[in-house]
Chains A and B, each alone.
Chain A
Amino acid sequence: MIGSIEVRSLSRSFTTTVRRPGFAGALRSLVNPERAVKHAVSDISFDVVPGELLALLGPNGAGKSTTIKMLTGILTPTSGEARVAGVVPYEERERNARNIGAVFGQRTQLWWDLPVRESFAILRDIYDVPGAEHAARLREFDGILELSAFWDTRVRHLSLGQRVRCDLAAALLHDPPVVFLDEPTIGMDVVVKEQVREFLRHQVEQRGRTVLLTTHDMTEVERLAERVVLINHGRLVLDGSLDEIRRKFGSTWQVRATLADGHTDLAPPPGIVLLRQDGPQVVFGPDGPEAPTVHQALKAVIERYEVTGIAIDEADLEDVMRAAYAHAEPAAEGV
């Protein structure tokens, strides 16, 4: 289907040489190398529907980039199958390339010695984009990314932020239904990051593009992603919404209240547990899988008790992800 990504039991293994400790170990490895199979991606399956932005998350070395490389046709999987916009990317690389755009934050796809606009013109020719369409799209991208201020500069003279904005535009000039972004905002300042996020939101909401994003920036995830796939040690740990992740991995909120004098019955509302009490100062948290959201809990506490002061602490997504990564560690040992 145009714009969809289907991943079924995708795996990719590499054969590596086991490093033995010390100089003698290195010599032994040279004479008699011990091989080991490293499973970079193991049996992962997920779908991305057209017009959806999915964040593919995981710690360093989790298998995110390898997954993206298989979906873009750079690598061939060891087993399993993937279809991107109806095309098997590693079997029909050039056909797949016409359906996708890709940005790798640390590498540029522009010609290093040429002014950016010349790179755009070359890409227009490569993808057979009609001149009027190309000009209109450049105008649109310039409106958000402010490219015209530096698009006559050679790529080698651009700052990182300028270069990645140009790379984003270059990846979308041929109007691909599917876009892969591997840490697109790495190393950018907050202003440029926000500019890029606005651009991506526009591409998903207004242009209906399917986006698969990897990032370590949780603010980016919160602002952009509708759904998250979490992988660790090459295995899929979770596929769901941010709320599901928050619910699954640890306490996600606390309500701190100061109670008026005379409260004796401190039985909390359903789904809420009393975590601490110090005189009139009390702290409540979620209790079990049916716990209310922080706003529901706030309302319940105010309705049940007479309070003179109240505040909420919500664990930020980074804390939640840390808990999620830690939770996935035991599974990794079996890999």
Chain B
Amino acid sequence: MNAVRIAWRITRLNFRSQLEYRTEFLLMVAIGAIWQVSVIVFATVLLTRFTGMGGWDSSDVLLIPATRMLAHGLFVLVLGRVHGLGRFIQEGRIDICLLRPIPVHRQVQLQYFPTNAIGDLTVAAGLMAGALSRSHLDWTAGRITYLVICLIGGMLLEAALFTAVACASLRFPAADYWGRWLEELLGTFGSYPLNVLPKAVGGFLTFGLPLAFVAYFPAAVLTGHGHDTGVPFWLAAASPLLGVLAYLGARLLWRWSLNHYTGVNG
């Protein structure tokens, strides 16, 4: 309970401190939104120029970027400070975290308030509202619950990937560049039904970097394309579980990496 109180207190103070610099705050919110401009363009083109893609209706396809962006926004808000950790490590600030009697991962997440997440989430919520309003599906309580679980699973899966990069950064701070590449990759391919891509690419984005489990498989299961994804239906449906397992695995890797941390700057 004390841990929650401390986390809430630090978050509140960090948020308040960001609010005090009004222009900086607004710029950060704006950059969070503008960052997603490619997805908005994609959604606009999809709805105005095409009736569908890869055998999916446009309204069904729209659920993919909406799910991915909302999961990404949640990741940025809740667990996103593991992204770009190399500099934090190189400056020796992780050493300071190791001196405090609370978990290092929690301290990393509480470094600052991610103001850009407000922009991310605003655009993502707008896109999701648009996707849901155009959807021909019957949004029962079961479907809505599954969608929410998938959003959490997608957030955890993205967090797992960036936590793995952060673990590498503990030993090789240059691994940060891989984090940027990963972000680029997720943003570029996260909006499409992966069956429109060559099989090798689709296979890589399923079994190499499990991007397909963030939004493509959940959207496929929700829209009735779950049997045409190239993986067994149960595996596509279990996407949120994979997110949870991947995140737990990444946290174990984080713990192991911290125990083998060799320090920087002498």
Q: A109 touching B96 by the CB < 8 A rule?
A: yes
A14, A72, A111 interface centre (most CB from chain B within 10 Å) = A111
Segment 190-221 of B: residues with Cβ below 8 Å from A: none
A331 interface hit (Cβ, 8 Å)? no
- Contact (A94, B95) CB under 8 Å given A76-B259, A114-B17: no
Q: B101 touching A98 by the CB < 8 A rule?
A: yes
Q: A97 touching B101 by the CB < 8 A rule?
A: yes
A100 interface hit (Cβ, 8 Å)? yes
Instruction: Write out the residue numbers on chain B whose beta carbons fall within 8 Å of the beta carbon of A122.
Output: 6, 9-10, 13
Q: B2 touching A118 by the CB < 8 A rule?
A: no
In the assembled complex, the Cα of A97 lies from the Cα of B107 at a distance in Å of 14
Contact residues on A (Cβ < 8 Å of other chain), bracket: 20 to 34
Closest to A123 in B: B100
- Contact (A126, B101) CB under 8 Å given A65-B266, A69-B95, A114-B13: yes
A66 interface hit (Cβ, 8 Å)? yes
B177 interface hit (Cβ, 8 Å)? no
**Selected contact of B92 from candidates A73, A98, A104, A154, CB within 8 Å:** A104
In the assembled complex, the Cα of A125 lies from the Cα of B17 at a distance in Å of 19
Q: B96 touching A111 by the CB < 8 A rule?
A: no
Q: A114 touching B14 by the CB < 8 A rule?
A: yes
Q: B112 touching A127 by the CB < 8 A rule?
A: no
Contact residues on B (Cβ < 8 Å of other chain), bracket: 20 to 34
B93 interface hit (Cβ, 8 Å)? yes
**Selected contact of A61 from candidates B13, B102, B266, CB within 8 Å:** B266
Instruction: Write out the residue numbers on chain B whose beta carbons fall within 8 Å of the beta carbon of A112.
Output: 112
Closest to B92 in A: A107
C-beta contact mask, A39-72 vs B, less than 8 Å → 1, else 0?
0000000000000000000000100011001001
In the assembled complex, the Cα of A107 lies from the Cα of B89 at a distance in Å of 12
Instruction: Write out the residue numbers on chain A whose beta carbons fall within 8 Å of the beta carbon of B10.
Output: 111, 122
Q: A72 touching B92 by the CB < 8 A rule?
A: no
C-beta contact mask, A85-126 vs B, less than 8 Å → 1, else 0?
000000001110110101010111101111000100110011
Residues in chain A within 8 A of chain B (CB atoms) = 14, 61, 65-66, 69, 72-76, 93-95, 97-98, 100, 102, 104, 106-109, 111-114, 118, 121-122, 125-128, 154
- Would you mind naming 28 contact pairs between A and B with Cβ atoms under 8 Å apart? A14-B262, A73-B98, A73-B99, A74-B98, A74-B99, A74-B261, A74-B263, A76-B260, A94-B102, A97-B101, A104-B95, A104-B96, A106-B92, A107-B95, A109-B100, A111-B14, A112-B112, A113-B14, A113-B17, A113-B112, A114-B13, A114-B17, A122-B6, A122-B9, A122-B10, A125-B5, A125-B9, A126-B101
The 8 closest A-B pairs by CB, nearest first: A97-B101, A94-B101, A113-B17, A74-B98, A109-B96, A98-B101, A125-B6, A65-B266
